[in-house]
Chain A
């Protein structure tokens, strides 16, 4: 025990050195593959090495971090320094979709896509100010754990678990799909097999070591994903503008895009009334939906259990607060680069594709056209003949003729910029790191809630430590297999469900967490009825408006898109919670003291005392 403790603190003290060496090793690995490419090793083998090598490294970190201690398993021993917890949170947060599809969304939507950028960063202000430090002081293992303590008992705990599972499961299925698609593309194996390769990687990282293993794996995954994200666009910026700082230089791209758009209208390549200008706000959505989406994504961010639980692992309340800042900084690095990706890609397309004659199309059009990701005149741009056949009767490519899939922009950038395949392989490894790290966090959030909250707290309060941890692992395995099965069986529009996760989590959790901390008068009856009302309203709206088979496909209310369904549920949750709280007797003196203790940073951890008393 003593040696294990000192071994752990040695590790914590040397984190900078360890991850510095890791980053150097990864850079050396990329350079080695670049050399292999030059000497003629085929692309398929390079892709295999990228995916295989990174998964093996993550799995090794996971296995080295195996643990049989409860606090290590659930909260990494509460000794993860703020900066590293920030990196792990950033990897946990940024999904395969953020990595691969965010820039593409901005490419397609222009200004209107910035709702995602604003929503997914601004929410962290709420996490920092309203919630994370207080949950850390309470000392919970899971979010439902806190709800149960504050709102006296298992009904609140159970509702917390329902919200957690509803929000996390749809989200994890999308991540598993992402790993399957990347494995399919880079390893050339069938998608169904790819899903199970991905799930194996995820399980090796999280099963033996729980939160401790996931934390150190996610730090490693953040380093891979951020290098992979920045490198192609930095090179593209240097090629195009002479300065390798895309975040600063894409202003030039924006000006060129605007000029090229005007040129297309003048020359008849685009119709003046249908062209969607990149800088024009509210051309694909109205302001109401834009701001409703920003609001739901922000509140959702502050309510997602797999994100909040990352702040349970810091050594102190002070570190938890700082860690939110670090998380946001590391997330910011990717999110403020995404608009640059979109702008450089659009500049390239508008300059070299739109208005070009069919014989002069750049080669990347065909590379991505072969898989149907780029289409011309409605047909896959697989070859010059295919394009000429589809666009018969036209001399040059018009704006409306060309279309590129959203998730291709980031992956195609190395080819658009004429870079070697090794950079494409790096981007694949980055996308895989993003999807795996998010899946790790989500699976662990669900398994922890089921093993700690349901099995230990609600079924067998006398379960010995070993049995609790074995149960946690069996449940993790079960959830992972169910997720993988759903990812192979579910219809493709499962990706639309990800947006639901934010609205459901926001309406179900946010009012109860926020008022539970900031309003002593909030009663158990109030919280429970508010959670049911908020979550229920949001779910009802989603089902009412979603297209079949998920819902009824009925018309929108006040024109609100179903991606922003939380705009109804969040206020209703608050109103019901406040109204019912005033109608029921004030919470006990004891409960009010508990709230005081949760607010005050100094003093003992509230939950640990409860654990000692019940043990």
Chain B
């Protein structure tokens, strides 16, 4: 594989990694800094701040790991470094 191709692939991979970690940090930590303010919003009986820690962030984490697997595979295929099917 050409070196430039390899570099392009790795910079996309790193970009995806950083993007995922930013989303992880927001829903793992940042959102919960504002729990008191969010608790003023109540949906279906759930104060939003409580809901985010009990379920909301968890849903984001699950979606994020599947999204990552899908995106990274697309990057691998585009740059020809994916495994054979």
Whether a CB of chain A sits under 8 angstroms from the CB of B55 is: yes
Q: Nearest residue in A to B67 (C-beta to C-beta)? A: A325
B64 cross-chain contacts in A, Cβ below 8 A: 125
A130 cross-chain contacts in B, Cβ below 8 A: 17
> Known contacts A251-B44, A316-B83; is A322 also within 8 Å of B69 by CB?
yes
Partner of B39, one of A114, A279, A596: A279
A253 cross-chain contacts in B, Cβ below 8 A: 45
**Interface set, chain B 6-40, CB cutoff 8 A to A:** 6, 10, 13, 16-17, 20-21, 24, 27-29, 32-33, 35-36, 39
Q: Is the CB of B46 within 8 A of A254?
A: yes
**Interface set, chain B 50-85, CB cutoff 8 A to A:** 50-51, 53-55, 57-59, 61-62, 64-66, 68-69, 72-73, 76, 80-84
Q: Is the CB of B62 within 8 A of A122?
A: no
Partner of B81, one of A111, A252, A601: A601
Q: Is the CB of B45 within 8 A of A328?
A: no
Whether a CB of chain B sits under 8 angstroms from the CB of A158 is: no
B81 cross-chain contacts in A, Cβ below 8 A: 600-602
In the bound complex, CA of A318 to CA of B80 (Å): 14
Count of A interface residues, CB-CB < 8 Å: 48
Q: Is the CB of B61 within 8 A of A125?
A: yes
Chain B interface mostly = helix
Q: Is the CB of A125 within 8 A of B29?
A: no
B50 cross-chain contacts in A, Cβ below 8 A: 111, 114, 254, 279, 281
Looking at chain B, what size class is its interface with the partner chain?
A: 35 or more
**Interface set, chain A 86-140, CB cutoff 8 A to B:** 111, 114, 117-118, 121-122, 124-126, 128-130, 133
B47 cross-chain contacts in A, Cβ below 8 A: 254, 279
| Shortest Cβ gap from A136 to chain B (Å) | 11
Whether a CB of chain B sits under 8 angstroms from the CB of A358 is: no
Whether a CB of chain B sits under 8 angstroms from the CB of A238 is: no
Whether a CB of chain B sits under 8 angstroms from the CB of A336 is: yes
> Known contacts A129-B21, A599-B13; is A328 also within 8 Å of B61 by CB?
yes
A254 cross-chain contacts in B, Cβ below 8 A: 45-47, 50
Q: Is the CB of A325 within 8 A of B29?
A: no
Whether a CB of chain B sits under 8 angstroms from the CB of A317 is: yes
In the bound complex, CA of A250 to CA of B44 (Å): 9
B36 cross-chain contacts in A, Cβ below 8 A: 281
Give A282-303 as 1s and 0s: 1 = Cβ < 8 Å from B's Cβ atoms. Answer: 0000010011001100100000
B58 cross-chain contacts in A, Cβ below 8 A: 117-118, 121, 332, 335-336
| Shortest Cβ gap from B33 to chain A (Å) | 8
Whether a CB of chain B sits under 8 angstroms from the CB of A159 is: no
| Shortest Cβ gap from B65 to chain A (Å) | 4
Q: Nearest residue in B to A106 (C-beta to C-beta)? A: B54
A339 cross-chain contacts in B, Cβ below 8 A: 54-55
B69 cross-chain contacts in A, Cβ below 8 A: 128, 318, 321-322, 324-325
**Interface set, chain A 237-260, CB cutoff 8 A to B:** 247-248, 250-255
> Known contacts A129-B68, A254-B45, A601-B82; is A122 also within 8 Å of B57 by CB?
yes
Residue of B51, B57, B84 ringed by the most chain A CB atoms within 10 A = B57
A316 cross-chain contacts in B, Cβ below 8 A: 83
In the bound complex, CA of A251 to CA of B51 (Å): 9
Whether a CB of chain B sits under 8 angstroms from the CB of A329 is: yes
Partner of B55, one of A111, A125, A336: A336
Q: Is the CB of A281 within 8 A of B54?
A: no
| Shortest Cβ gap from B4 to chain A (Å) | 14
In the bound complex, CA of A104 to CA of B53 (Å): 17
> Known contacts A329-B62, A335-B58, A599-B10; is A122 also within 8 Å of B45 by CB?
no
Q: Is the CB of B29 within 8 A of A294?
A: yes
Q: Is the CB of B61 within 8 A of A121?
A: yes
A114 cross-chain contacts in B, Cβ below 8 A: 50, 53-54
B13 cross-chain contacts in A, Cβ below 8 A: 599
| Shortest Cβ gap from A106 to chain B (Å) | 8
Q: Is the CB of A118 within 8 A of B53?
A: yes
Partner of B83, one of A121, A128, A329, A601: A601
A128 cross-chain contacts in B, Cβ below 8 A: 65, 68-69
| Shortest Cβ gap from B35 to chain A (Å) | 5
In the bound complex, CA of A602 to CA of B62 (Å): 26
Q: Is the CB of B65 within 8 A of A324?
A: yes
A291 cross-chain contacts in B, Cβ below 8 A: 29, 32
B61 cross-chain contacts in A, Cβ below 8 A: 121-122, 124-125, 328, 332
> Known contacts A117-B58, A324-B69; is A281 also within 8 Å of B28 by CB?
no
B57 cross-chain contacts in A, Cβ below 8 A: 118, 121-122
In the bound complex, CA of A563 to CA of B45 (Å): 32
In the bound complex, CA of A329 to CA of B61 (Å): 9
Q: Is the CB of B66 within 8 A of A601?
A: no
Q: Is the CB of B54 within 8 A of A602?
A: no
> Known contacts A321-B73, A336-B55; is A118 also within 8 Å of B44 by CB?
no
In the bound complex, CA of A104 to CA of B29 (Å): 24
* A–B Cβ pairs within 8 angstroms, 13 of them: A111-B53, A117-B58, A121-B58, A122-B28, A122-B57, A133-B72, A251-B51, A281-B49, A324-B65, A329-B62, A336-B58, A596-B6, A600-B6
Those 10 A-B pairs whose CB atoms lie nearest each other, nearest first: A251-B45, A321-B69, A114-B53, A325-B66, A325-B65, A251-B46, A339-B54, A122-B28, A251-B44, A125-B24
Inter-chain pairs besides A248-B44, A254-B50, A332-B58, 9 sampled, C-beta below 8 Å: A117-B53, A129-B17, A129-B24, A129-B68, A290-B32, A332-B61, A339-B55, A600-B6, A602-B84
